[in-house]
Amino acid sequence: MNQDVQWMQAALELAKQAGEVGEVPVGAVVVKDGKIVGRGKNSPVSGNDPTAHAELLALRDAAQTLGNYRLENCTLYVSLEPCTMCSGAIVNSRIARLVYGASEPRTGAAGSVVDIFSNASLNHHTSVEGGILAEESRQLLQAFFKPKRVNQNPLREDALRPMDEWFEGIPNYPWPANYIANLPSLNGVRLHYLDEGSTPDNAKQITYLCLHGNPAWSYLYRKMIPIFTAHGHRVVAPDLIGFGKSDKFKKAQQHSFEFHRQVLLDFIERLDLQRVVLVVQDWGGILGLTLPMAMPHRFGGVLVMNTTLATGTQALSDGFLSWRAWCQANPDFDVAKLFARGNKHMSAEETQAYNSPFKDRGHRAALHAFPPMVPEYENSEGADISRQALQFWRERWQGQSMMAIGLQDPVLGQAVMNDLRQNIRNCPPPMLLPHAGHFVQEHGQTIAEAAVQHFKLSSL
Ligand SMILES: [Zn+2]
């Protein structure tokens, strides 16, 4: 066997060992008179040492073995082309010959980016040969980086990610998860959404865009989704950041009206949703009703359930103010109990599904952030955009409208909804649900059945 190959295999063995403990797999040996006198494996992470590259460690090891800081008549074998730091050290230690494996196109200092060794005023000693067992080295590096590339959404440091196990076995939610993190506004936080019933030609389908509020998630639409898809429509239902299977900010202050609105705009744009029927309730409407004026060509219909546009020009309802005060007084409130209270027809498993996103207390920042975020005064964040939206619905809205009201809602009930209806152009009299409360979607089957009759593709 070629001597160079034999020594390079020793270097690759060290590279493998580095990779096994989570270091970028690079290894090096120093050889003198047919014997290994120094070994090094890349270890900057474990050593908290930016200089702990395989070559430097091998040089140090060899100098100790030989009892000399000058490594005369030695060859350094390294599995990857050295960086500038290591190349400088190789020259300084008077290594006679450098043999490396794979080239390193981003940082290599033996010809790839710069060439320390060809510089006559720097280097008098070291000859260079590259490409020995290069393929083996490359495969080792690719295998090391591969699992990280598969995980396209590393968790941001200021965010938390709910565990998949928290959602296992919850009833009537069979749909696969979809994730997106690379929207400009998301900046790496991962948003979960359902996307069901889409056909290859989905620009010609009606898309029901279903937006939940606080403290719910896309689970809220489980009774409506199958009805929409059974009629050949597409359903897209995101979980707002902080809710459901989406990432959670660690701090309440990270949430803002403008952030959530921009995420929804970016999301609709990225999925290129067309012929949208906007389905909203609670914060789904407080945010969602401000969207169509920014992209009116995408929206053909709106289905409004217990919600409002908070313009800051009218005092917030007493019902809302008590809800906000109650949330502040009970920061650890049981979300499942809240659903159980107004929905006697729900099973315990169903109400518990609303606790699933919040199994750790650290995940509750959105629950604290949202009630105080409802625009209260004319200069509150979101109030101005909500006033513009109200004007849009009153004067420029061209699409079809439908309204459904849960009459048992003390927060955003019939009075608030009647006000809103006056401001939605051509909105017919509402569908009234005497037994439904704030979370109208828990009685969503009849609403969805009425909606698929009401919204016709031909007119969207
Ligand atoms: Zn280096």
The DSSP secondary structure of 124-149, one letter per residue, reads: SS-EEE--TTHHHHHHHHHHHHHHHH
CA dist 22 and 103 (Å) reads 21
Tell me, in angstroms, the distance from the centre of ligand 1 to residue 14's CA: 15
pLDDT tens-digit readout, 440-460? 999 999 999 999 999 997 777
Question: What is the structure's pLDDT at 353?
Answer: 97
For the question of residue 409 being annotated catalytic, the response is: yes
Which of 282, 363, 368, 443 is flagged as catalytic? 282
Question: What is the structure's pLDDT at 150?
Answer: 46
Question: What is the structure's pLDDT at 414?
Answer: 95
For the question of residue 435 being annotated catalytic, the response is: no
| Statement: the pTM of the whole predicted model exceeds 0.85 | no
Question: What is the structure's pLDDT at 1?
Answer: 58
Tell me, in angstroms, the distance from the centre of ligand 1 to residue 7's CA: 19
For the question of residue 282 being annotated catalytic, the response is: yes
Tell me, in angstroms, the distance from the centre of ligand 1 to residue 86's CA: 4
Helix %, strand %, coil % for the chain, to 5? 40, 15, 40
Closest to 267 (Cα-Cα) out of 231, 238, 298, 296: 238
Alpha carbon distances (Å) from 296 to 203, 291, 396 = 15, 8, 9
Alpha carbon distances (Å) from 287 to 28, 167, 279, 417 = 58, 26, 12, 16
Tell me, in angstroms, the distance from the centre of ligand 1 to residue 15's CA: 13
Kindly give, in sequence order, each residue whose CB lies less than 8 Å from that of residue 66, ignoring residues fewer than 6 positions away. Answer: 32, 37
Tell me, in angstroms, the distance from the centre of ligand 1 to residue 87's CA: 7
Question: What is the structure's pLDDT at 52?
Answer: 97
Question: What is the structure's pLDDT at 154?
Answer: 83
- Segments in the chain below pLDDT 70: 1, 147-152
* Cβ pair 407, 432 in contact under 8 A: yes
The type of residue at 408 is: Q
Tell me, in angstroms, the distance from the centre of ligand 1 to residue 46's CA: 16
CA dist 242 and 189 (Å) reads 10
How many Cβ atoms are within 10 Å of 376's Cβ, its own excluded? 17
CA atoms within 13 A on the CB side of 248: 27
Question: What is the structure's pLDDT at 152?
Answer: 59
Tell me, in angstroms, the distance from the centre of ligand 1 to residue 67's CA: 23
Which of 61, 195, 239, 409 is flagged as catalytic? 409
**326 bridge partner residues:** none
- For the record, the structure tokens of 290 come out as 């401000």
Question: What is the structure's pLDDT at 205?
Answer: 95
Tell me, in angstroms, the distance from the centre of ligand 1 to residue 57's CA: 10
Question: What is the structure's pLDDT at 201?
Answer: 87
Calculate the CA dihedral of residues 157, 158, 164, 168 and round it to 10 degrees. Answer: 160
Q: What DSSP designation does 172 have?
A: T
